[in-house]
Amino acid sequence: MTQKKARRNYGWLLLVPAGIWYLVFFLIPSLFPLVFSFAQSDPTGGIFLRDFSVDNYARFLDCNFAAWSQLGECIYLKVFWQTIVFAVLGTLGCLVLAYPLAYFLATRVGKWRTTLLVLIIIPFWTSFLIRTYAWVVLLADQGLINSFLVDLGILADDARIPMLYNPFAVYLGIIYNYLPLMIFPLYVSLERLDKTLLEASKDLGANRLATFRNITLQLTAPGLFTGILLTFIPLTGEYIIPAILGGSKTLLMGNLVANQFLQARDWAFGSASSVMLIAILVVFILIWYRFSEGQSVEVA
């Protein structure tokens, strides 16, 4: 009994260092944009802390139904929606690409496992810009892949494949850069899978698909769940990859917030947009956690 009590005390203590860190270096600084979102912007940048108002939020949610034309729609909600769609598709792409690899590494590879994992992440120690511009070099109309194909005679010079400055390039770049965020949680969870369970399932007559669905997927759900969230969440704030690889022809929430703070010098509205994004996503996550916590299978 005494030992159980001691363990519980420890649990609480362990949260203190992180708690303090988050409080000081995140929550307190985050008060700035929160307060700003209820204030007015100085047209030359900065804030007037004059009146408390929810104008900025109203503006974000505003749909100008009066002018029912292309110019009169929900300007910012549209951007928000496009961002969500983009993030969902990107996450799906990452998942499809990452799962087989994570599965392979976790179950088929022995001595080289750690090395192969580290090899996944080494490209990311070259600068993000360098990697992304290397893709530009590869994918451009006048870039290496097209030029290579033209030189070989497979393509005509004026019939080059447009692989850059379009959604294809953007999703390629997304998947490329977010793969580790998806692979690592998946791997970490898959690695713990007890092979004997798989054997037992086979012995009991289940085919591979059934085994996968009933055993693997269920038992490694936490990893899947974490991987999806860890990829989806940062994706909602991503804007640099669509700018460089997509020709900056779309506007996502990340662009919006950056533009408001910089180009428009509208800190108040930028803060409000940011707070909206965070609030909506956090609510969504908490709901998903509620939902999934009740569904997860306890390891026997």
Partner 1 sequence: MNDRDLERLLHARRVTRRGFIYITGMGSAAAFLAACGGPSVSPTSAPPTSAPAAATNASAAPTNAGATNAPAPTTAAAGKVEDELFLYNWAEYVNPDNIDAFSKANNVKVTLSFFESNEDALAKVEAGGTGYDVLAPTGYMVQIMADKGLLMPLDLSRIPNFKYMGAEFAKGRPHDPDNKWSVTKDWGTTGIAWNSDKIKEEITSLDDFWKLAPKYSGKIAMMDSSPEIIGLTLKYLGYPYNSCDQKQLDEALNKLLELKPHIKAFDSSYFDLLSTDEVWMSFAWNGDVFNANSKRKDAGKPESIQYVIAKEGGELWEDDWVILKDAPHPNAAYAWINFILDPQNQAKESDFTYYASGEDEAKQYMDEEVTKNPAIYPSDEVLAKLEAAQVLPGDCTQYREELYTKLKSA
Partner 2 sequence: MTTADPSALLGTGVGRLIEIAFRVYAALVYLFLYLPILIVVLFSFNDSKSVQAWAGFTTDWYIKAWQDASIQSGLRNSLIVATLNMTAAVVLGTLLAIGLRKSPRLLIAIFIAVMYMTIISPEIVTGLSSLLFFVQIGKWLAIKNILGIPTIVATHAVWTSALVALIVRARLASLDESLNEASADLGATPWRTFWQITVPLLLPAIISGGLLAFTFSFDDYVITQFVSGPQSSTLPIRIWGMVRFGVSPIINSVATVILFFTLTSVFLAQYILTNENASPRPLLVWFTFVIGVVLYGVGPAQGFWNGLTGLEGLVGVATWIVVWMVALIGLYWVFRRLRPSAGLRVETAQ
For partner 1, the binding residues (CB under 8 A) are 41-46, 70-71, 75-76, 78-79, 82, 140-142, 162, 165, 192, 194-196, 243, 247-251, 255-256, 259-266, 269, 299
Whose CA is closest to 35, among 61, 62, 56? 56
Task: Tell me the C-alpha to C-alpha distance, in Å, between residue 292 and each of 21, 128, 173, 215, 297.
Answer: 28, 34, 30, 17, 10
The tokens for 197 are: 């369970």
Q: Which does 99 bind (CB under 5 to 8 A by kind): partner 2, partner 1, none?
A: none
Stretch that binds partner 2, among 51-59, 65-73, 109-117, 162-170 (CB under 8 A): 109-117
CB of 39 to partner 2, least distance (A): 14
Query: Out of partner 1, partner 2, none, which partner does residue 160 contact, by CB within 5 to 8 A per kind?
Result: none
User: Which one, 57 or 103, has the nearer CB to partner 2?
Assistant: 103
Task: Assess contact for 160 and 190: CB atoms under 8 A.
Answer: no
Among 125, 156, 204, 295, binds partner 2 (CB under 8 A): 125
Side-chain-side CA neighbours of residue 280 (13 Å): 16
Binding residue (CB under 8 A) for partner 2 from 135, 165, 171, 178? 135
Query: Within positions 33 to 92, which residues make up the interface with partner 2, using CB under 8 A?
Result: 33
Q: Which residue in the set 84, 169, 230, 243 belongs to the binding site for partner 2 (CB under 8 A)?
A: 230
Window 153-172: residues binding partner 2 (CB under 8 A):
none
* Shortest reach from residue 102's CB to partner 1, in Å: 17
Q: Least distance to partner 2 from the beta carbon of 67, Å?
A: 30
> Which residue, 229, 221, 230, 214, is CA-closest to 190?
221
SS3 151: helix
What DSSP designation does 218 have?
Answer: H
What single DSSP character describes residue 25? Answer: I
Verify binding: residue 127, partner 2, rule CB under 8 A.
yes
In 3D space, the residue among 238, 278, 247, 282 whose CA is nearest the CA of residue 88 turns out to be: 238
Q: Do 144 and 163 touch, CB atoms closer than 8 A?
A: no
